[in-house]
Structure 1
Amino acid sequence: MLVVGGGLVGLTAALVLRHHGVSVTLVERRETTSPQPKARRFHFRSMEVFRELGLAATVHEAARDLADHDRMAVGHTLAEAEQLPLWQPGDVDVLEVSPELPCLVAQDALEPVLRAAAQDAGADVRFATALTGFEQDADGVADPGGRWLRASYLVAADGARSGVRTALGIGRSGRGAVGEPAVNVYFRADLEDVVRGREFNLCQIEHPDAPGALASVDGRFRWVFMTSGERTDRDWPALLRTALGVPAPDLDVLSVLPWQPEMLVADRYSAGRVHLVGDAAHVMPPFAAMGANTGISDAHELGWKLAAALSGDAPPALLDSYDAERRPAGWFAADQSARRTLDLRGTGTPDPDLAHPFLLVAGGFQYTDGALCRADGQDPEPVHEFAPAGRVGTRVPHRWLDEARTRSTLDLAGPGWALLVAGDPRPWERDAGGVAVHRLDADFLPAGTALLLRPDDVVAWRGTDVTAPPRVLRDLLGPTAVAA
């Protein structure tokens, strides 16, 4: 298996594939991981993926510097800023949403952790190695002429300007530019004394001469100031000191990067033996922190399907379901991010199409087509409220399985399938065909009902017919899915 791109999503893809026992080579043209903080917030669902990979504790440790920086702040300057009340959805207990809390960790701190973990897991990780072209045929993908590398499939995680996507001729659709052009100024300054007691994730600066937003990278020394405009040749030290409201004698500007928020989604996620993930598949404004998180979910889903196809447990046609499921999910995340960007302050007319925030951050999007067995008459997942109920095409709801709160329903599947049964599991075990059967007494599962979970924690089937699960598996994966 070949993964192109050594950022957050590419490294996660390599880890997921190794988790499923697939040999992986990852190539990255850069010499090292990202020097820029970029993505910083990792939601419930991403942390659940890291939990399955055995990395959640490691990621939380990498995030320790920002552990208390989950608030927002606003002020004329940083020195005058005040924390805003911690946002809490009135209808959801945050601690009951997931077995893992979200965390803040800068991309340049997390990527080395994932790179080391991928190498420890046995992935062949090659930085300073560029894929300059590729060819594919009925048997695999290779560099031109097949001189140095050949793989059964290629996972393109090579970013928003994906050379792989361009080579395939895959276009993109969407809103395009969203909002105004902006500039990110990455700088160092010891601001510990300034922010002590008013720690924040993001601080809105309202000074008329230096409006923008200040993001914490490590909570003390590293910061990103985001402001609108296209000019990069301004006197940034002076402007930053105005925004900070303090002299900051040690201030050092590290980089100045212009950018334009965009909402664009690839018209296809797959072409033959090549599959797009992350920014290669979708770009979206950063203000809902959905870009990297959506890419991590791409890698999580694609990984088990590639493993099933490579092992012969499923026909290659299973991979058609990747586009059928993840492209609508990517569009949903990108569109929701764009909608939030258009009214960051919430002062306009409320958008009736805004989904409940937890539908974004806890994997609440419902697949309606793909590797699923949907029964007629089943209710769709609500969009304007967070009410997971184990519906087909959704992530299984989190429920603790023990009093010590160490095991969750989200620990029952992955890397294999699982069958969750409300009531006596013995009748289901007779025809389970090697699928792990677990008794689950939960509020969302009536007695005598079972859920068939895919390796990515998505409900593939729900019903009361004890003979159905092996038949569903055969329909989804082919005749080799269940032992005779």
Structure 2
Amino acid sequence: MLIAGGGLVGLTTALVLRHHGVDVTLVEKRATTSPQPKARRFHVRSLEIFRELGLAETVHEAARDLADHDCMAVGKTLAEAEQLPPWRPSGAGESMDVSPELPCLVAQNVLEPVLRQAAQDAGADIRFSTALTSFEQDADGVVAELADSGLRASYLVAADGARSPVRSALGIGRSGRGAIGEDSVNVYFRADLADVVRGREFNICQIQHPDAPGGLASVDGRLNWVFMTPGGDVDRDWPALLRTALGVPAPDLEVMSVLPWRPEMLVADRYSSGRVHLAGDAAHVMPPFAAVGANTGIADAHNLGWKLAAVLSGAAAPSLLDSYDAERRPAGWFAADQSSRRATDLTAAPDPTLAHPFVLAAGGFQYPAGAISGGPAEGGEAEPVTEFAPAGRVGTRIPHRWLDTARTKSTVDLAGPGWALAVADDPQRWRPGGIPVHRLDVDFLGAGEGVLIRPDDVVAWRGTDPTAPANVLEKLLHA
């Protein structure tokens, strides 16, 4: 397997493939991982994926500097800003216990080196300073030309960013709203502001000063910060503007980089072309307002990884890979649309027509079709979007329920890297064809019911026929 791109998604793809026993080579044209903070919020679904890979504790440790910075704040300047109350779910019966893992804030430039080391430790061949210059594919694989050599692989995963050369070479277009809003500038700077923010720690602080409006994001909660401000002009007196926004002298302030950008919503018209598959920003770009861009890419890797492994091992026919586009392209569009519709004003009233935040955070998007049986496209029950009400519907991630009093094992842990069958019944009645069977006493399964769980924790089938799981699995893998 060959992966082009050594960012968050490429490295996660390498980890998932190694988790399934696949030999992996990853190439990245840059000399090192990202020097920019970029993505910072990782939702519970991403942490569940890292949990399966044995990395959740490592990721949480990397996030320790921002462990207390989950609130938002608003003020004319940082010095005058006040914390907003933390968001809590509304409505009877809603619970914060939606996952075995907590979300975390960790800057991309902190997390990527952790993932790179983990991928190397897992046996992946990680090659930075190595550009993919061209490639060709045939019936048997992909021939890649690298800057210093050649390589043949069974498949190529393009995790090579929003301007993906691989996507361009394939001639795959993109659709969506395109540019959204006005040009902006991200200013990455250093200043010791620990005393200024103490007791008012935040993830993002909305600055409302008329001469320096924008958003201040914590990178480590003390020394490193990103100021996001409207306007495309990068030639400004940034130290003066920043001190205006901060409302304090900040004598040690140092501007590290200034990056112009404009939020966009674009999704690839195809995620797959022959033996090449797009993932992450190569497949979808979206505004940062819902903090789901990197998380959506990590879910791409999790979905694609087990399918590639199944095909490469001979456990599944190559046609299984068609389900990657059928599942992840609608998921990417959903995430990009939700991001595009969200406002940057932290004081604005929430839009009741938007997806419930837990739907975004806990991987609550329902696949309409793909490697599932009895999903919405076949008349199955649809998952609600504006409320968070997971019930083990086909095409959704299995609902989290603790399986022991010590709260160490969750229903989310039942599958991966293999399949699992969970039943509210006598396991001896079920003939799952070699799939491990788990008897559960959970509220989302009725008496005599069972759910077939894929390696990526998605419910592939639900029913009461003990002979069905083996037949469904065979159909899904070899249709």
Structure 1 equivalent of residue 197 of structure 2 = 195
Matched residues in 2 for 1:173 and 1:353: separation? 23
Residue 41 of structure 2 aligns to which amino acid in structure 1? R
CA contact (8 A) 1:212 1:225 kept: yes
Matched residues in 2 for 1:252 and 1:144: separation? 41
Structure 1 equivalent of residue 434 of structure 2 = 434
Matched residues in 1 for 2:307 and 2:381: separation? 27
Pick from 220, 223, 241 the counterpart of residue 221 of structure 1. 223
Matched residues in 2 for 1:477 and 1:319: separation? 10
Matched residues in 2 for 1:448 and 1:76: separation? 59
Residue 450 of structure 2 aligns to which amino acid in structure 1? A
Structure 1 equivalent of residue 41 of structure 2 = 41
CA contact (8 A) 2:208 2:214 kept: yes
1:410-429 equivalent positions in 2, closer than 5 A: 410-428=412-430
- Percentage identity across aligned positions? 78
Matched residues in 1 for 2:45 and 2:249: separation? 41
Matched residues in 2 for 1:406 and 1:329: separation? 30
RMSD: 1.5
Q: Does 1:128 align with 2:136?
A: no
Aligned CA distance change for structure 1 residues 345 and 284 (closer, same or farther; 3 Å): farther
Residue 35 of structure 1 aligns to which amino acid in structure 2? P
Q: Does 1:31 align with 2:31?
A: yes
Matched residues in 2 for 1:169 and 1:379: separation? 36
1:286-301 equivalent positions in 2, closer than 5 A: 286-301=288-303
Aligned CA distance change for structure 1 residues 94 and 195 (closer, same or farther; 3 Å): farther
Residue 256 of structure 2 aligns to which amino acid in structure 1? L
User: Aligned with 2:16: secondary structure?
Assistant: helix
Pick from 230, 239, 242 the counterpart of residue 240 of structure 1. 242
Q: What stretches of structure 2 of length at least 5 have no aligned partner?
A: none
Structure 2 equivalent of residue 73 of structure 1 = 73
- TM-score w.r.t. the length of structure 1 is 0.96
Structure 2 equivalent of residue 13 of structure 1 = 13
Residue 96 of structure 1 aligns to which amino acid in structure 2? D
Matched residues in 2 for 1:109 and 1:378: separation? 42
Structure 2 equivalent of residue 370 of structure 1 = 370
CA contact (8 A) 1:95 1:101 kept: no
Structure 1 equivalent of residue 212 of structure 2 = 210
Q: Does 1:305 align with 2:299?
A: no
Structure 1 runs of 4+ with >6 Å offset: none
Matched residues in 1 for 2:381 and 2:455: separation? 23
Matched residues in 2 for 1:414 and 1:366: separation? 19
CA contact (8 A) 1:179 1:341 kept: no
What is the CA distance between 1:351 and its match in structure 2?
4.9
Structure 2 equivalent of residue 105 of structure 1 = 106
What is the CA distance between 1:95 and its match in structure 2?
3.7
Structure 2 equivalent of residue 160 of structure 1 = 162
Matched residues in 2 for 1:477 and 1:378: separation? 20
What is the CA distance between 1:368 and its match in structure 2?
1.0
Aligned CA distance change for structure 1 residues 241 and 342 (closer, same or farther; 3 Å): closer
Residue 270 of structure 1 aligns to which amino acid in structure 2? S
What is the CA distance between 1:440 and its match in structure 2?
0.8
Aligned CA distance change for structure 1 residues 192 and 12 (closer, same or farther; 3 Å): same
Moved more, 407-416 or 83-92: 83-92
Aligned residue pairs total 475
Pick from 269, 274, 277 the counterpart of residue 279 of structure 2. 277
Matched residues in 1 for 2:342 and 2:113: separation? 31
What is the CA distance between 1:343 and its match in structure 2?
6.5
Structure 1 equivalent of residue 138 of structure 2 = 137
What is the CA distance between 1:357 and its match in structure 2?
1.3
- TM-score w.r.t. the length of structure 2 is 0.97
Could you give the per-residue CA deviations for residues 424-477 of structure 1, whole angstroms, max 9, x where no partner exists? 11111xx22211100011001001000000000000000000010010011101
Matched residues in 2 for 1:151 and 1:345: separation? 51
What is the CA distance between 1:147 and its match in structure 2?
5.6
Residue 135 of structure 1 aligns to which amino acid in structure 2? E
Q: Does 1:182 align with 2:174?
A: no
Matched residues in 1 for 2:144 and 2:294: separation? 27
Matched residues in 2 for 1:311 and 1:114: separation? 25
CA contact (8 A) 1:178 1:342 kept: no
Structure 2 equivalent of residue 82 of structure 1 = 82
1:335-346 equivalent positions in 2, closer than 5 A: 335-341=337-343, 345-346=347-348
Q: Does 1:96 align with 2:97?
A: yes
CA contact (8 A) 1:179 1:342 kept: no
CA contact (8 A) 2:289 2:344 kept: no
Aligned CA distance change for structure 1 residues 95 and 89 (closer, same or farther; 3 Å): closer
Could you give the per-residue CA deviations for residues 200-259 of structure 1, whole angstroms, max 9, x where no partner exists? 000011111111110000000000000000000000000000000000000000000000
Q: Does 1:262 align with 2:258?
A: no
Residue 140 of structure 2 aligns to which amino acid in structure 1? D
Structure 2 equivalent of residue 482 of structure 1 = none
